[in-house]
A and B are shown apart, each in its own frame.
Chain A
């Protein structure tokens, strides 16, 4: 919080920084004044000297209070503790000034002497709560009985941009991840984000209360194991999901919220710090190095050459070869174009790509612009119903890992199929509803790994299909696959819906209802429930499905007139 106007001058700010130094003067001087007053009361010290001493103490108290006030408004502190410290400090300064004013060098007994002494005692008493609160602000709740060792001061070493690149992660997406089974092993290698950025942040803002010495809420945030273990309220970290990570959620609450962390009055992490934490959680909260692959290298490359990589000498082991991953820019462009991409299976950088959402506008140009950059990673590709033609097939030659290709209902022709021979991994090909001719047979037979081929309504003649069927290992779908045979059937049943049981009472023709469906429910008529009704068509037998429908019918026969033949 900055002060408005001239108060914001650097000099004043510098005065504020002097508060920790200045504040010790009134402590010594006021307590000294108390001792001198005791001696003066017995006539052992001259009161004239005491007067000057009291003015010195009062002046130091005023300077301490005003410097503290500046500091409190400059450093982003806040909260009840600060407010109380501030009030006590000001009261202390006022009491010491009063003591100096009321002091009578002649030391005559009377009301003034009593008032002076009271002011001095009040100032000295105020020293203790004001000092305690000040220490709490600076050193934390546990400054008095906490750990003796000095806490590390965090200096995040990685710039936010670099961090973002390293994690290649954005804001919370809310996308689901599988519940974690095994936490990643902690690995304090040189360039790990946790060790360099996250742990120092936690040490600055959290571990004074959530550390080895003081485990508030049963929670420690000073080691990977402890962070994953959580506290009494359950887990605090959900890797990949900032919105479910309690420690981050509570830090994001408004300061005045009861559950806000760190508590009001403690140093608060800035927006940038929170973003670092969030990016780390969103990236799955890695405790080791984030992907020793291209990202790591790129991150290293962005560092200034003069900036040594910490611990590089201590870790001469070569980085393992990077697992290739699809370039994120190309993926982003693909998904921004509404083309669907997902991993074929978890953990492997093989993509399944489906253009269904934009099939009608997805043509050869889109294949070149969007798919070719990802070609090595595309293992399954559906271009079904899209606007592509033969030239797209040429471009797909870069898809060395492509196993399944769906070209259903596209404009590809027999002459374009030759390009598919350059797809070494192709196992399954869907050419249903295309316009091929006899010329397709040769290029298709030339595909060595092909196991499954759909040629339903692809325009191929029976002879052409027969030639393809000579490839024994090739499963051919043509849409005229045989249906399941009937192996045996039950004979005529003793009774069935079609044939009443022999001997069952036949309905006399005259009583047969004129309708087959019940006029009320629309269900089939049961001849048992029939009645004679005289309507506009004369007397007729009307059948119903159940004993209830005739009641409804009788209530208003005209309503059902048009339901009858």
Chain B
């Protein structure tokens, strides 16, 4: 097979260590070795998988700031009759509150001012808000969980918990675990990519460690694509550096690093070699990825008017589809600005306008390209919002504080049961009354769909085995197709 000289595969041949190449070429292997060993003996990725996978990749849309389940998904029409009544103590049960509302003299019930409709799904329909008309029309594909729970009550630990399975920083993120477990399916792109959309309202800090690799080898950390300018910083060669020069420089550095790796046995040295090679290949693959000129007009139209605005949720959703069809394992979209402590009705409308059509378009686009079956889509915030108003309650305006005791997320594709709802909350959407789903359970279930036993996808660090689900987590069979 002859390759054009600018083909990145040319260069890979130079850096594949000979030892590894010959070892791989050395005859055939019997399959009598244990689970996982076959993939490893064949030199294939994914040796940590112990189950037949239903999903090959994940698209995780994290709504940073925590969207209100009451105004989007968790329909409580009877609350309208309780407008401005005090939240009963029997419901609140003395639960801790954030410092933002713990000083409030009363907790007046704020029903949603948005109209809900019942959409056909594969059960007896699901009530969804007028804020998300496009997404609602895909109800037959979506799996709604109304009984999500978390331990954290503030954004920082809340997001950290969702992303890493632990409230304290330092553990590898979900995407890093998936990258570590599945390996890459496209050697020209990172296996974990992160994109961020700035929100329309109150935005919380977004730390890069939410997509960090913790103690996993650092090539598994998420690679952030920037919205403006170069998608990846410092990827372009500086003026005057030709590509062959860059190649020679990388070869020399890799040779030095290889010696250091053999001396110190530090896996981070090899991670550094791998990342430099990845960056070199991304010099070719990223510009091709982010160039929408090969998308037809109908597809662009599907994602809505903002699709050509770099960094918009629409543009990021389209990029997510392009990454999915290129085999990237974990694609994470952050949408900021859901932290609506005040002026919720106005802000949530703008947020929903930004995400509704693009996310629906992404699902439709994946579906018709035959990718939705093997792509696990997850949508959710780090917690929910309170039924009582934070600050002044009026007939047109209210705010909602953080609420970890119940909230809604949805999933689609990748072996998730389509068109169902799971779990129930009480009449105030304050406590879970049926089928609570903990964060560890969600992680365990998603890992299951990716082919992992969450108790066996482990990494030894500081003398013990760590896992995403820590010491907890159950696979919830009802959520599986």
Chain A residues in the interface with B (C-beta under 8 A): 164-165, 167-171, 173-182, 184, 234, 238-240, 243-244, 249, 252, 283-284, 286, 289-296, 298, 322-329, 331-332, 335-338, 340-349, 354, 356-358, 361, 365-366, 369-370, 384-385, 406, 408, 430, 432-433, 454, 456-457, 477, 479, 481, 483-490, 492-497, 500-501, 504, 522-524, 526, 545-546
**Residue B275 lies at the interface, judged by CB distance under 8 Å to chain A:** no
- Contact across chains for A171 and B23 when beta carbons are under 8 A apart: yes
Q: Hey, which chain B residues are within 8 Å of A289, CB to CB?
A: 32
Q: Hey, which chain B residues are within 8 Å of A486, CB to CB?
A: 117-120
- Contact across chains for A176 and B180 when beta carbons are under 8 A apart: yes
Contact of A488 among B117, B265, B453, B463 (CB under 8 A): B117
Report the separation of the CA atoms of residues A83 and B7 in the bound assembly, to the nearest whole angstrom. Answer: 58
Q: Which 6 pairs show the lowest CB-CB distances between chains A and B? A: A291-B30, A170-B23, A293-B30, A345-B52, A323-B31, A483-B137
Smallest CB-CB separation from B452: which chain A residue? A178
Q: Offer 30 A-B interface pairs, CB within 8 angstroms, sorted by A.
A: A168-B23, A168-B41, A171-B23, A178-B457, A234-B463, A240-B37, A243-B267, A284-B37, A284-B40, A291-B33, A291-B41, A295-B27, A296-B30, A298-B27, A323-B32, A325-B30, A325-B42, A338-B9, A338-B12, A346-B39, A348-B38, A356-B185, A357-B188, A361-B3, A457-B368, A488-B118, A500-B395, A501-B396, A523-B347, A526-B346
Across the A-B interface, how many residue pairs have beta carbons closer than 8 Å?
Answer: 324
Known: A181-B456, A523-B350. 11 other contacts (CB 8 A): A169-B23, A170-B19, A174-B217, A249-B265, A291-B29, A294-B30, A357-B185, A358-B188, A385-B325, A486-B117, A524-B349
- Contact across chains for B368 and A432 when beta carbons are under 8 A apart: yes
- Contact across chains for A178 and B49 when beta carbons are under 8 A apart: yes
- Contact across chains for B28 and A357 when beta carbons are under 8 A apart: no
- Contact across chains for A345 and B327 when beta carbons are under 8 A apart: no
- Contact A164/B113 with A176-B47, A358-B9, A487-B120 known, Cβ cut-off 8 Å: no
Shortest beta-carbon distance from B478 to chain A in Å: 21
Report the separation of the CA atoms of residues A298 and B397 in the bound assembly, to the nearest whole angstrom. Answer: 78
Q: Hey, which chain B residues are within 8 Å of A485, CB to CB?
A: 119-120
- Contact A178/B48 with A164-B23, A501-B395 known, Cβ cut-off 8 Å: yes
- Contact A337/B9 with A293-B29, A342-B185 known, Cβ cut-off 8 Å: yes
- Contact across chains for B9 and A328 when beta carbons are under 8 A apart: no
- Contact A487/B118 with A342-B45, A497-B113 known, Cβ cut-off 8 Å: yes
Shortest beta-carbon distance from B370 to chain A in Å: 4
Contact of A328 among B27, B31, B342, B463 (CB under 8 A): B27
Q: Hey, which chain B residues are within 8 Å of A481, CB to CB?
A: 367
Contact of A522 among B50, B113, B140, B200 (CB under 8 A): B200
Report the separation of the CA atoms of residues A323 and B32 in the bound assembly, to the nearest whole angstrom. Answer: 7
Shortest beta-carbon distance from B348 to chain A in Å: 9
Report the separation of the CA atoms of residues A487 and B40 in the bound assembly, to the nearest whole angstrom. Answer: 51
**Residue B34 lies at the interface, judged by CB distance under 8 Å to chain A:** yes
**Residue B286 lies at the interface, judged by CB distance under 8 Å to chain A:** no
**Residue B17 lies at the interface, judged by CB distance under 8 Å to chain A:** yes
Report the separation of the CA atoms of residues A164 and B368 in the bound assembly, to the nearest whole angstrom. Answer: 47
Report the separation of the CA atoms of residues A331 and B349 in the bound assembly, to the nearest whole angstrom. Answer: 52
- Contact across chains for A345 and B189 when beta carbons are under 8 A apart: no
- Contact across chains for A332 and B30 when beta carbons are under 8 A apart: no
Question: Which of A289, A366, A490 has the most chain B CB atoms inside 10 A of its CB?
Answer: A490
Smallest CB-CB separation from A527: which chain B residue? B396
**Residue B138 lies at the interface, judged by CB distance under 8 Å to chain A:** yes
- Contact across chains for B187 and A338 when beta carbons are under 8 A apart: yes
Binary flags per residue of B49-69, CB closer than 8 Å to A gives 1, else 0: 111110000000000000000
Report the separation of the CA atoms of residues A208 and B392 in the bound assembly, to the nearest whole angstrom. Answer: 79
**Residue B460 lies at the interface, judged by CB distance under 8 Å to chain A:** yes
Smallest CB-CB separation from B267: which chain A residue? A174
- Contact across chains for A346 and B368 when beta carbons are under 8 A apart: no
Shortest beta-carbon distance from A531 to chain B in Å: 18
Report the separation of the CA atoms of residues A492 and B117 in the bound assembly, to the nearest whole angstrom. Answer: 12
Report the separation of the CA atoms of residues A488 and B459 in the bound assembly, to the nearest whole angstrom. Answer: 50
- Contact across chains for B9 and A336 when beta carbons are under 8 A apart: yes
Chain B residues in the interface with A (C-beta under 8 A): 1, 3-4, 7-9, 12-13, 16-17, 19-53, 77, 80, 83, 113-121, 125, 136-140, 180-189, 200-201, 217, 265, 267, 270, 285, 325-327, 342-343, 345-347, 349-350, 367-370, 395-397, 451, 453, 456-460, 463, 465
Contact of A327 among B28, B118, B121, B465 (CB under 8 A): B28
Shortest beta-carbon distance from A170 to chain B in Å: 3
Q: Hey, which chain A residues are within 8 Å of B116, CB to CB?
A: 489-490
- Contact A328/B43 with A488-B118, A546-B342 known, Cβ cut-off 8 Å: yes
Report the separation of the CA atoms of residues A479 and B372 in the bound assembly, to the nearest whole angstrom. Answer: 13
- Contact across chains for A484 and B117 when beta carbons are under 8 A apart: no
Report the separation of the CA atoms of residues A370 and B4 in the bound assembly, to the nearest whole angstrom. Answer: 17
Shortest beta-carbon distance from A108 to chain B in Å: 65
Shortest beta-carbon distance from B262 to chain A in Å: 9
- Contact A495/B113 with A170-B23, A177-B36 known, Cβ cut-off 8 Å: yes
- Contact across chains for B270 and A174 when beta carbons are under 8 A apart: yes
Q: Hey, which chain B residues are within 8 Å of A332, CB to CB?
A: 21, 24-25, 43
Smallest CB-CB separation from B185: which chain A residue? A340
Smallest CB-CB separation from A406: which chain B residue? B370
Q: Hey, which chain B residues are within 8 Å of A179, CB to CB?
A: 456-458, 465
- Contact across chains for A454 and B185 when beta carbons are under 8 A apart: no
Shortest beta-carbon distance from B186 to chain A in Å: 4
- Contact across chains for A294 and B27 when beta carbons are under 8 A apart: yes
Question: Which of B32, B77, B183, B397 has the most chain A CB atoms inside 10 A of its CB?
Answer: B32
- Contact across chains for A168 and B28 when beta carbons are under 8 A apart: yes
Report the separation of the CA atoms of residues A385 and B265 in the bound assembly, to the nearest whole angstrom. Answer: 41
Q: Hey, which chain B residues are within 8 Å of A496, CB to CB?
A: 113-115
- Contact across chains for B121 and A484 when beta carbons are under 8 A apart: yes
Smallest CB-CB separation from A244: which chain B residue? B460
Report the separation of the CA atoms of residues A406 and B347 in the bound assembly, to the nearest whole angstrom. Answer: 42
- Contact A366/B28 with A171-B17, A342-B185, A501-B395 known, Cβ cut-off 8 Å: no
Shortest beta-carbon distance from A160 to chain B in Å: 11
Report the separation of the CA atoms of residues A555 and B343 in the bound assembly, to the nearest whole angstrom. Answer: 23
Smallest CB-CB separation from B464: which chain A residue? A234
- Contact across chains for B50 and A497 when beta carbons are under 8 A apart: no
- Contact across chains for B53 and A177 when beta carbons are under 8 A apart: no
Shortest beta-carbon distance from B303 to chain A in Å: 15
Q: Hey, which chain B residues are within 8 Å of A361, CB to CB?
A: 3-4, 7
Report the separation of the CA atoms of residues A477 and B41 in the bound assembly, to the nearest whole angstrom. Answer: 38
- Contact A346/B49 with A179-B465, A328-B43, A489-B117 known, Cβ cut-off 8 Å: yes
Shortest beta-carbon distance from B362 to chain A in Å: 15
Report the separation of the CA atoms of residues A239 and B37 in the bound assembly, to the nearest whole angstrom. Answer: 9
